């Protein structure tokens, strides 16, 4: 299920994804995520910035979610510094 936090005027949405197979105690996780401004139509082109981690694995759903939040906040901070296409969002 998608989860959201807010960071500096943006929403950071993260979806933990099973790396393989059915859930088990040793299952590894990835994540898919996006950032957008509050009130954006995130499904429309140009309204969000999407990213994912499908190579590295995380030992739990919570760890994958937290890694997505950390990366999302980093990307928002880059927008504020002018380093990441500020026209998106």
Taking the model in full, what pTM does it have?
0.85
CA distance 32 to 34: 7
pLDDT per residue as tens digits for the range 36-77: 998 888 888 889 999 999 999 999 999 999 999 999 999 999
- Residue in 41, 34, 37 with CA at minimum distance from that of residue 9: 37
Please state the domain extents for the chain.
15-28+39-59
Given this model, what pLDDT does residue 87 score?
45
Average pLDDT, the chain: 89
How many other C-beta atoms lie within 10 A of the C-beta of residue 19?
14
Cα–Cα distance, 71 to 87 (Å, whole number): 19
């Amino acid at each position: 299920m998608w989860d959201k936090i807010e960071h500096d005027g943006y929403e950071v949405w993260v979806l933990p994804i099973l790396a393989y197979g059915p859930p088990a105690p040793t299952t590894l996780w990835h994540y898919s995520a996006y950032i957008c401004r509050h009130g954006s139509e995130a499904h429309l082109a140009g309204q969000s910035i999407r990213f994912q981690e499908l190579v590295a694995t995380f030992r739990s759903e919570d760890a994958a979610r937290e890694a997505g939040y950390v990366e999302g906040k980093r990307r928002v901070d880059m927008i504020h510094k002018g380093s990441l296409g500020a026209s998106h969002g």
